[in-house]
Amino acid sequence: MKMVLASKNAHKLVEMRDILSAQGVEVVLESDVGVDVDVEETGTTFEENALLKARAVMEATGLPSIADDSGLMVDALNGAPGVYSARYGGPALDDAGRYRLLLDNMRGQLDRRCRFVSAICCCFPNGDIVTARGECPGTLAYAPKGEDGFGYDPVFFVPSLKKTFAELTGGEKNAVSHRGAALAAFSGNLTKYLASL
**Residue 43 labelled as part of a binding site:** no
- Give the domains, in start order, of the chain with CATH numbers: 2-196 (3.90.950.10)
Rounded to whole angstroms, the Cα distance separating 116 from 87 reads 16
Residue range 170-195, pLDDT digits in tens: 889 888 999 889 988 999 999 999 88
Rounded to whole angstroms, the Cα distance separating 53 from 170 reads 25
pLDDT band at 197 (very low <50, low <70, confident <90, very high): confident
**Residue 31 labelled as part of a binding site:** no
**Residue 151 labelled as part of a binding site:** yes
Give residue 117's pLDDT.
Answer: 97
Active site residues: 69
Give residue 15's pLDDT.
Answer: 79
Give residue 180's pLDDT.
Answer: 87
Residue 138, φ and ψ in degrees, nearest 5: -165, -165
Rounded to whole angstroms, the Cα distance separating 141 from 22 reads 33
Q: Residue 52 pLDDT > 90, yes or no?
A: yes
Buried b (16+ CB within 10 A) or exposed e, 155-182: bbbbeeeebbbbbbeeebbbebbbbbbb
Residue range 75-91, pLDDT digits in tens: 999 999 999 999 999 99
Residue range 134-167, pLDDT digits in tens: 999 999 999 999 998 789 999 999 999 999 999 9
Residue range 87-122, pLDDT digits in tens: 999 999 999 999 999 999 999 999 999 999 999 999
